[in-house]
Amino acid sequence: MFENLTNKLESVFSKLRRAGKLTEKNIQEGLKEVRLALLEADVNFRVVKDFIKSVEGKALGQQVLSSITPGQQIVKIVHDELINLMGEHSEKIEFSQRPPTVIMLAGLQGSGKTTTAGKLGNLLKKEGHRPLLVPADPYRPAAIAQLKTIGKQAGIEVYSSETNISPVITCKKALEQAKGSNLDVVIIDTAGRLHIDQELMEELKNIISNVPVNEKLLVADSMAGQDAVNIAKEFNSNIELTGIILTKMDGDARGGAALSIKAVTQKPIKFIGMGEKLDALEVFHPERMASRILGMGDILSLVEKAQKVVDEKKTLELEKKIREETFTLEDFKDQLLQIKSMGPLEELIGMIPGLGNTKKLKDLSVDEKEFGKIEAIINSMTGKERLNYTLINGNRRKRIARGSGTTIQDVNKLLKQFAQMKKMMKVFASGKKGKFMKLPFMQ
Indicate the annotated binding residues for GTP: 107-114, 189-193, 247-250
Radius of gyration over alpha carbons of the chain, in Å? Answer: 26
Q: What is the rounded CA–CA span in Å between residue 396 and residue 394?
A: 5
Bind-site residues = 107-114, 189-193, 247-250
Query: Can you tell me the distance from the alpha carbon of 364 to that of 443, in angstroms, rounded to the nearest whole number?
Result: 7
41 burial via Cβ count (<10 Å: 0-12, 13-18, 19+): buried
The number of beta carbons lying within 10 Å of the beta carbon of residue 91 is 18
Run of H or E including 215: strand 215-221
**Residues 6 or more apart in contact with residue 189 via CB below 8 angstroms:** 105, 113, 114, 117, 133, 134, 135, 136, 137, 143, 147
**Can you tell me the distance from the alpha carbon of 70 to that of 74, in angstroms, rounded to the nearest whole number?**
6
73, 27 Cβ separation under 8 angstroms:
no
Interatomic CA distance for residues 183 and 124, integer angstroms: 12
- Contact criterion met (CB below 8 Å) for 292 and 266: no
Bridge partners of residue 190, in order along the sequence: 136
Give the SS3 label for residue 272: strand
Spacing of C-alpha 340 from chain mean position: 15
Q: Which residues pair with 244 in a beta bridge?
A: 218, 269
3-class DSSP state for residue 316? helix
DSSP 377-435: HHHTS-HHHHH-GGG--HHHHHHHHHHHT--HHHHHHHHHHHHHHHHHHHHHHTT---P
